[in-house]
A and B are shown apart, each in its own frame.
Chain A
Amino acid sequence: MIAIFGLAIGVIVGLLVQPTVPVELQPYLPIAVVAALDALFGGLRALLDGIFNDRVFLTSFLSNVVVAAFIVFLGDQLGVGTQLSTAVVVVLGIRIFSNAASIRRHLFKA
């Protein structure tokens, strides 16, 4: 419940503040968002599995974001930033899908 409130508060704050993303961070923000979504779905799955652990959630959330951004940064330095960010998005997308499937099985038994 608090998580849902937090999400809503974050959205509202984002709408009210209307910040501009620094130019250096602009390529990494979308990847970081996808990584955070992945962590969120992983946490939801763990919750439904009954093995949710806030420390693990925090760690996976932050590390997902950092690692994803770092991979893209590395790709940019190597000149394959576009391809690598695509790869990261694909991998995270697959993970989100499999987590969503697991959540679905838990909730709907199907």
Chain B
Amino acid sequence: MTMADDERTDPPAHEPEDVSVAPASDEAAIDAIGETAPDETASDEAANDETGSDELAHDEPASDERASDEPGPKQPRKPAPADAAVPKRLTGWSALVSALRPRATRAQVLAGVLCAALGFAVVVQVRQAGDTNLSGLRTDDLVRLLDETTTSADQLSREATSLQAERDQLQSGSSSRQAAIDAARRGAAMQGILSGRLPAEGPGVRISLQDPNGTIRPVTMLNMLEELRNAGAEAIQVGDQRVTASSAFTGASGAIQIDGVTLKPPYVWLVIGDPDTIQTALQIPGGALAYVRNDGGTGDVAKVQHVSISALRDLPDPKYATLAPAPPP
């Protein structure tokens, strides 16, 4: 910007500066050189130039003088660059306006052709730069690109490894959680069957006790129940009552109660368990059926392939007992 200030403070030095600061303006420099050794073509062009400036003579009063310069239009430029040349030339807006007038001079056509080439090249290059084509790159760039790609690939693969580990961890966590849930579900089913909360089905026996005289005692029924438990019965129903660990036979002969509900003969037992074992166990001499017969009743045991026990028992939540903490391993 110091250059600009210099120039502004010293307008007459404008022209020589163009020559001396030649590297800044190729055009001006070569032009100046061309003028030190003028030839025929140069003067020819000068004539062209002059016709151009003639057209502008109306707009620019300073060019009146110039129109009379025709024989040696470029001479004032060289010998007296400091003072005389500046007003004679078409400069600034006037030069621009004159250049904008479409004329079929050689300069205009040439500039048009070159500008067309430039526009074409710019568009081609912009399109080229748009799609990244590796084949157009230099070796250095390619090496750098390869390095960057390798580094980023390493980083990504590390990231993938860590993510995979995290995924495995989550998966094993969820699978162990699933196993715990399955175990809990199985446990709940088992507890539900044993405690009478859930219906049950499976192979077993159906025992029917006839009591025509109402002489079977509650203790006989209890004896039967214990015999069944010894034989491995898993779920038991008497009449429409589920028999659980807390069940009790009370009452008297002919009005036997289980858990406070009176049973009516014939007493029907539904038992899930190994049918053969249960049948054998009940019929051994001095066993449960023998007790029944002693009481004056009769009983028969039928093996059933599919016993369905649907009677349920509601269990109150324990009021005083709570779960003891698990013993330390």
Q: Which of B7, B101, B123, B141 is packed against the most chain A CB atoms within 10 Å?
A: B123
Cβ-defined contact, B25 with A21, below 8 A: no
Q: Which of A8, A23, A26, A76 is packed against the most chain B CB atoms within 10 Å?
A: A26
Say which residue of A21, A53, A82 sits within 8 Å of B141 (CB atoms): A82
Cβ-defined contact, A2 with B124, below 8 A: no
Stretch at the interface among B92-100, B197-205, B236-244, B267-275: B92-100
Cβ-defined contact, A52 with B107, below 8 A: yes
Say which residue of A26, A53, A107 sits within 8 Å of B45 (CB atoms): A53
List which A27-84 residues lie within 8 A (CB) of chain B. Answer: 27, 29-30, 32-33, 36-40, 42-43, 45-61, 64, 76, 81-82
- A77 smallest CB distance to B (angstroms): 11
What's the tally of chain A residues with a CB closer than 8 Å to chain B?
A: 62
Q: A49-B18, A60-B26 known; A107 and B121 CB under 8 Å?
A: no
Q: How far is the CA of A13 from the CA of B42 in the complex (A)?
A: 33
Say which residue of A47, A60, A61, A98 sits within 8 Å of B95 (CB atoms): A47
Q: How far is the CA of A60 from the CA of B111 in the complex (A)?
A: 12
Say which residue of A36, A48, A60, A81 sits within 8 Å of B121 (CB atoms): A36
B101: A residues at CB distance < 8 A: 1
Cβ-defined contact, A105 with B7, below 8 A: yes
Cβ-defined contact, A6 with B26, below 8 A: no
Q: How far is the CA of A6 from the CA of B129 in the complex (A)?
A: 23
Cβ-defined contact, B122 with A33, below 8 A: yes
A87 interface residue per 8 A CB criterion = no
B90 interface residue per 8 A CB criterion = yes
Say which residue of B77, B106, B109, B122 sits within 8 Å of A14 (CB atoms): B122
A7 interface residue per 8 A CB criterion = yes
- A78 smallest CB distance to B (angstroms): 12
Q: How far is the CA of A84 from the CA of B120 in the complex (A)?
A: 25
Q: For residue A18, which residue of chain B has the nearest CB?
A: B127
Q: For residue B8, which residue of chain A has the nearest CB?
A: A105
Q: How far is the CA of A6 from the CA of B111 in the complex (A)?
A: 8
Q: How far is the CA of A99 from the CA of B23 in the complex (A)?
A: 11
B314 interface residue per 8 A CB criterion = no
Q: A2-B112, A6-B114 known; A106 and B136 CB under 8 Å?
A: no
Q: A33-B122, A99-B24 known; A57 and B114 CB under 8 Å?
A: yes
B145: A residues at CB distance < 8 A: none
Q: How far is the CA of A82 from the CA of B141 in the complex (A)?
A: 8
Query: Which 9 pairs of residues, A with B, have the shortest CB-CB distance?
Result: A10-B119, A50-B89, A14-B123, A26-B136, A6-B112, A54-B107, A10-B116, A2-B112, A6-B116
Q: Which residues of B are at the interface with A, using a C-beta cutoff of 8 A?
A: 3-4, 7-8, 15, 18, 23-28, 30-32, 34, 41-42, 45, 49, 77, 89-93, 95-96, 99-125, 127-129, 133, 135-138, 140-141
List, sorted by A's number, 27 A–B pairs whose CB atoms are closer than 8 Å: A1-B102, A3-B99, A3-B108, A6-B113, A6-B116, A7-B119, A9-B119, A10-B118, A14-B124, A18-B127, A19-B124, A27-B136, A29-B125, A33-B125, A39-B26, A39-B27, A42-B27, A48-B95, A49-B15, A51-B77, A53-B31, A55-B42, A56-B34, A95-B23, A101-B4, A105-B4, A105-B8
